[in-house]
Amino acid sequence: MWSMPTKVFFSEGCVEKIPTDIKNYFKTLGKKTFILTSPSFASTSKRDELKLFTEQLKSNGIEFEIGILNSGEPTLDQINALTAQARKWNPKFLIAFGGGSVMDAAKCICLLLANEGTLPEYSHRGIHADTKRVQKALDLVCIPTVFATGSEVSQYAVYTDEKSKLKLTVFSEHLKPVFALVDPKFALTISYEQTVYNCFDVLTHSLESYLSTSEDHGVLDRTTEAIVSSVFASLEKIKNDSKNMEARMDVARASVLAMSGFLSLRSGGWPIHALAHGLAAYYKLPHGALLTVLLPRFVDFYVERGSEKAKKIKSFFPKEFFKSYTLTKLLKDVPVNLDILEKAVDHALQLDGIWKKGDEPYLKAFQPIFKNDGLSILKNCL
């Protein structure tokens, strides 16, 4: 079933000057909100977008408290601390003003403010682990400042439990934001390298279930192919002109479409994300950077195993992405530890593997990805 309850408004400058009808919509959510953001936006000496936004909330009679996610990707300890801050403020709804990590953390806070229990109890911890069902969540408005994860429309949130060394996911229809304001101007200050990482996040969201199934899915597959073609075309335009607003907007649209749930009507596994999360549990590397390394290797892996869809999609890729980005380069001075690569595969199999009595566990894909396959893919990333 496809459900897309999030209202999405795309427009240049829509955060600096919120349209009147959207201001009125915010009022219907309540007159007290908790805004989660990152240090860069919280510091008005560096950027003024959040200040301009909150001034409009004030003039609209909405009170707010600001919480700051201090590191890159959210951890369980950070989320618990921010939830305690939000609970004291007692907001009627939340606003996430930032990138994917901020939006994911905000979803976790919305969950914890409305349900009893701890976050790991609601998290996917493997096929045999009991998971509490999310009964409800506070309303969430997302203002993405990075266009990559599609968290502004999705039901997913990812965080790290540093004590257990697990990167965990919570998901529920209740976690889908009620509204998203998408302003491509935020992307104008993002470097080309970071834009590449963001685009590969979008591409991987589009291609996971496309590549991991052999049959053709008609309009779903044609939509994926259009997204891939468009994202690479936009990336080339941004490389030549970082201020190309239409190209930035096109990536923002693709990010939303890829995670809107439409492509999930196609059954298929998500092995690329499974291995990326496994690596991220041990190496503190940006999610998009890991996907930039992993996605081309998976395409090659599928091509070698006879996937016609992988052969087709490889023709969309500029050749540079099969050579220029490696795990060794991302880690820089940190030596690659083969034991950690094995642990990353074990992490993927523990949380996302298919386990059948008497059989070796595997990741669902075009063909089953067993532990040795996963290790082979990761070694090819070095």
Give the pLDDT confidence of 164-201 residue by residue, as tens digits: 888 889 999 999 999 999 999 999 989 999 999 999 99
Instruction: State residue 333's pLDDT score.
Output: 74
Instruction: State residue 357's pLDDT score.
Output: 63
> Which residues make up the CATH 1.20.1090.10 domain(s) of the chain?
191-380
Structure token pair of residue 247 = 């190209």
Read off the pLDDT of each residue in 82-110 and give the average, rounded to a whole number. 97
Instruction: State residue 331's pLDDT score.
Output: 85
Question: Percentage of the chain surpassing pLDDT 70?
Answer: 97
Instruction: State residue 71's pLDDT score.
Output: 74
Instruction: State residue 44's pLDDT score.
Output: 65
∠ Cα 67 198 103 (to 5°): 25
CA distance linking residue 23 with residue 144, whole number of Å: 17
Q: How confident is the model at residue 126 (pLDDT cuts 50, 70, 90)?
A: low
Evaluate if residue 361 carries a pLDDT over 80: yes
Evaluate if residue 7 carries a pLDDT over 80: yes
Structure token pair of residue 44 = 């008005």
DSSP string across 29-61: H-SEEEEEE-HHHH-TTT--HHHHHHHHHHHTT
CATH architecture of 191-380: Up-down Bundle (1.20)
Compute the mean pLDDT over every residue in the chain, rounded to the nearest whole number. 92
Structure pTM?
A: 0.93
∠ Cα 366 289 177 (to 5°): 80
Instruction: State residue 127's pLDDT score.
Output: 64
Contacts of 112 (CB under 8 A, 6+ apart): 79, 80, 83, 119
Q: pLDDT tens across 207-239, in order?
A: 999 999 999 999 999 999 999 999 999 999 999
The neighbour count for residue 225, using CB atoms within 10 Å, is 17
Which class does domain 7-185 fall in?
A: alpha beta
> Which residues make up the CATH 3.40.50.1970 domain(s) of the chain?
7-185
Q: pLDDT tens across 129-156, in order?
A: 778 899 999 999 999 999 999 999 999 9
Q: In this predicted structure, which of 155-164, 218-227, 324-333 has the lowest mean pLDDT? A: 324-333
DSSP string across 105-160: HHHHHHHHHHSSS-GGGGSB--TTS--PPP----EEEEEESS-SS-TTT-SEEEEE
Q: pLDDT tens across 341-359, in order?
A: 999 999 999 888 887 666 7
Residue with tokens 């939509």: 223
Burial of 218 (0-12, 13-18, 19+ CB in 10 A): exposed
Query: Between the CA of residue 352 and those of 182, 296, 361, 377, what are the distances in Å?
Result: 31, 21, 10, 17
Q: pLDDT tens across 51-89, in order?
A: 999 999 999 999 999 999 987 789 999 999 999 999 999
String of b and e for 179-199 (b: at least 16 CB within 10 Å)? bbbbbbbbbeebeeebbbbbb
Q: What is residue 264's DSSP assignment?
A: G
Q: How confident is the model at residue 257 (pLDDT cuts 50, 70, 90)?
A: very high
Q: How confident is the model at residue 336 (pLDDT cuts 50, 70, 90)?
A: confident
CA distance linking residue 160 with residue 338, whole number of Å: 22
Strands 32-37 and 156-161: unpaired
CA distance linking residue 123 with residue 129, whole number of Å: 9
CA dihedral sign of residues 282, 284, 287, 292 = negative
Instruction: State residue 245's pLDDT score.
Output: 95
Total length of the chain: 382
Evaluate if residue 302 carries a pLDDT over 90: yes
